Structure 1
Amino acid sequence: MSTSEYDSLRPPEPPRRKRRPGGPGRRRRPGRHAGGDGSREMLMVPEAEFTSYYGKPVVKPPPWEKEVAAYLFLGGVAGGSGLLGAGGQLTGRPTLARNARLSALAAVSLGGAALVKDLGRPDRFYNMLRTFKVTSPMSVGSWILTAFSGGAGIAAVSELDRLTGSRAPLGPLRTVLRVAEGPAGLGAAVFAGPLAAYTAVLLADTAVPTWNHTHRDLPFVFVSSASLASAGLAMVTTPVAETGPAQRMAALGVVGDVVATRLMERRMDPVAAEPLHHGRPGAMLRWSERLAVLGGVGAVLGGRSRAMAAASGAALMAASALTRFGVFEAGIASAKDPRYTIEPQRRRLEARRAAGITDDSITTGPTAG
């Protein structure tokens, strides 16, 4: 028997069964004395268990903490607020435009801080701006975030200067701010949608099972969720006389959020979708839908009630946050369990073989000859 220095690393072998007395020629009939009725064959191998080598996950969970989930939420708030700010600017609603611009700046600043905290050092974010790689959601997203922040920052600083009575010693820079304020606000609105959606593409581009299976629909879910968050924040901070666009945005966002989420879950592999329904992520997403519907009804029927508008807005913001955190935690949970990787792969393999595809590297079947 040969030995090797790696023998100590091999998993232990199960103990062998002892042969019953009665001679080597004696055999038991299949099915007898094994819980069967003798008419069925015994299983030659035990049922497969969804374990991996040495009990390790098949897919390595991403090393992302709660800061990334917060960034997902704050990015949606910033993107939607940038769009509402441009709407207030174009429709003559100065209070809505001001509050939305300030909200966009606050959200993108806090989101950037959360992202840098997760990266560990600020220079890691700067290094992502050294190149532009269209095939990398992280690279494209970094440039989207930078472009949006520039426009939103100029518009918000001008609003802050006006809000403080132009007391800051800006000198000639104040004139530049006033001239650039409008174009900067509209420029931020151009990047608002991509900012709200790119984080969904970033998640779906990973090998994490649940996230990867949402690649067709998660961007629509995140954009709708961003509409809820930003419209809700505007309803909380702005008088009802100017919240008409925010209320309509909230109503559309609720419909989009519910429909997109249901469609996403229906088109996913049923096993990969399980983390969205079970445990803490499942509870978050169920409450997200309830609060979204409740907030949407309040936005439509609240009329001119300031208290109703504020309560509905808070419900919409909570619904959006629960959506982002729920999807984030569901993906992390799916990466830790080998079942969510193995079962969908087997189902896809069987589907390809059933379709007659047996000559590629996936099915590893016989080559065409």
Structure 2
Amino acid sequence: MSPDRPVGALFRRFRERLAAEPGSAAGGDRAVDPGDAAAEQGPGGRDNGSRANGTGPGGGHTDAGAREAGLAPHPPRDAAPTTRRRRGGKGGGEQLTVPPAEFTSYYGRPILKPPVWRWDIAAYLFTGGLAAGSSLLAAGGQLTGRPALRRAGRVTSLAAVSASAYFLVNDLGRPSRFHHMLRVAKLTSPMSVGTWILSAFGPAAGLAAIAEVAPRLPRHGVPGLGRRLLPPVGDAAGLVAAVTAPALATYTGVLLADTAVPSWHEAYPELPAIFAGSALASGAGVGLLAAPCAQAGPARRLAVAGAALELWGSHRVENRLGLLSEPYTEGTPGALLRAGRSLTAAGVVGALVGRRSRLLSAISGGALLAASVCTRFGIFHGGVASARDPKYTVVPQRERADRRA
């Protein structure tokens, strides 16, 4: 920079050019210095397009200059101003030049990644509850001297827990993954706890079911030894399975509630109760189907207790959660849960009325089993639906933020 042009003079000349701009509050009709005007033009008197003169391609940096240049105001003001309350909720506000934002998701994708579980996990929920309920039914038959009830419960429990293991391994992809989950025991992880519960329940249920074939073994030799030893061992194993059955019936509800899926997570008090009631009702259905009317008394009592828990929990998740109850009342989940409630009520009424009717007892047992299937699949699909729609994630978050504010 040459010493004859100090910095102050440059800024003074720049302010004078700004003041001479048409429409400027400071400039008015003030004339522009010919030297400055020549500096703004290129060779041949062509305009350089400076934003300072308001006439070139970059002109109109004020609303007045934009009108004179035939340009739209910048920024555009086609949106009505809105007010935004200051943080803390105390009076006053500020004017916004943009419309209020609406919640959405990037590129139309869900905010949460929906569960990758398929139908086999919903089937696992049902078979696990059926195994737990059947083992409790078998224990009731064992303690009250009802062999038909005990036999039906033990055999069904083994079949159901075997199906549960298949569905679980099928979802994991490789059987070795189930084995790897047994390398650690983490009490804060419902999945880890559930793996150990299933590992303890399965062998006990299997041993109790195998003991049912003891009367058919020969009386002499090694089979005869098994004929004598299997019944007491089976009774002890049946009681062990019955002790672990409540944990097997309810841990899947805790597992679902421990996820970030909105309608599962918010229903954490009700899901274990629903799954426990569904397990008891399904076990009662097995007893009503397989045992004669004279031995089905514990099954009827089990049906009443299970139906009460299941209907109470289903009513709660459909009415207590506000917006997050919608996935349980609409579409496929809503239809499944309504069918489950109707089948449960019909099964309980039939079990109580048909105490002397073998046919009516069997129909009631089938209704209770079908109700358990509908309830498990309805809860499963309701949670998946809530993860796919962004509003079930965004709206509750905003409501919680408003309550904190």
Mark yes or no: TM-score above 0.5: yes
TM-score range, shorter chain: 0.7 to 0.9
Cα drift, residue 29 of structure 1: 10
Q: Is 1:92 aligned to 2:145, yes or no? A: yes
Q: Is 1:76 aligned to 2:129, yes or no? A: yes
Cα drift, residue 179 of structure 1: 2.7
Q: Is 1:283 aligned to 2:296, yes or no? A: no
User: 2:234: which partner in 1?
Assistant: 181
* Structure 1 SS opposite 2:399: helix
Superposed CA offset, 1:175-224 (max 9, x none): 44223111111000001111000000000000011110111111001100
Cα distance in 2 for residues equivalent to 1:43 and 1:231 = 63
Cα distance in 1 for residues equivalent to 2:402 and 2:148 = 58
| CA shift in 2, pair 1:263/1:23, >3 Å | closer
Equivalent residue runs for 1:310-329 within 5 Å: 310-329=362-381
Q: Highest relative contact order (Cα 8 Å, sep 6+), 1 or 2?
A: 1
Q: Is 1:345 aligned to 2:397, yes or no? A: yes
Cα drift, residue 262 of structure 1: 1.5
Contact 1:216 1:264 (8 Å CA) reproduced? no
Equivalent residue runs for 1:47-196 within 5 Å: 48-162=101-215, 165-166=216-217, 170=223, 172-196=225-249
* Structure 2 SS opposite 1:61: coil
Cα drift, residue 22 of structure 1: 9.6
Cα distance in 1 for residues equivalent to 2:77 and 2:395 = 35
- Normalised to the residue count of structure 2, the TM-score between the two structures is 0.75
Cα drift, residue 161 of structure 1: 3.7
* Structure 2 SS opposite 1:186: helix
Unaligned runs of 5+ in 2: 1-65, 81-94
Cα distance in 2 for residues equivalent to 1:186 and 1:29 = 75
* Structure 1 SS opposite 2:324: coil
Cα distance in 1 for residues equivalent to 2:130 and 2:301 = 16
Q: Which amino acid aligns with 2:402?
A: E
Structure having the higher Rg = 2
User: 2:13: which partner in 1?
Assistant: none
Cα distance in 1 for residues equivalent to 2:199 and 2:223 = 24
Equivalent residue runs for 1:214-225 within 5 Å: 214-225=267-278
Contact 1:231 1:249 (8 Å CA) reproduced? yes
Q: Which amino acid aligns with 2:217?
A: S
Unaligned runs of 5+ in 1: 1-18, 32-41, 354-369
* Structure 2 SS opposite 1:304: coil
Cα distance in 2 for residues equivalent to 1:30 and 1:91 = 77
| CA shift in 2, pair 1:23/1:285, >3 Å | closer
Q: Is 1:206 aligned to 2:255, yes or no? A: no
Contact 2:194 2:252 (8 Å CA) reproduced? yes
Q: Which amino acid aligns with 1:101?
A: R
Q: Which amino acid aligns with 1:341?
A: T
User: 2:346: which partner in 1?
Assistant: 294
Cα drift, residue 48 of structure 1: 4.0
Cα distance in 2 for residues equivalent to 1:338 and 1:49 = 11
* Structure 2 SS opposite 1:271: helix
| CA shift in 2, pair 1:43/1:278, >3 Å | farther
Cα distance in 2 for residues equivalent to 1:65 and 1:24 = 55
The Cα RMSD (Å) is 2.5
Return the match for 1:239 from 281, 287, 292: 292
Q: Which amino acid aligns with 2:205?
A: A
User: 1:10: which partner in 2?
Assistant: none
Contact 1:158 1:177 (8 Å CA) reproduced? yes
Cα drift, residue 55 of structure 1: 1.9
The percentage of counterpart residues that share the same residue type is 50
* Structure 2 SS opposite 1:51: coil
Equivalent residue runs for 1:254-293 within 5 Å: 254-268=307-321, 270-293=322-345
Cα distance in 2 for residues equivalent to 1:54 and 1:23 = 31
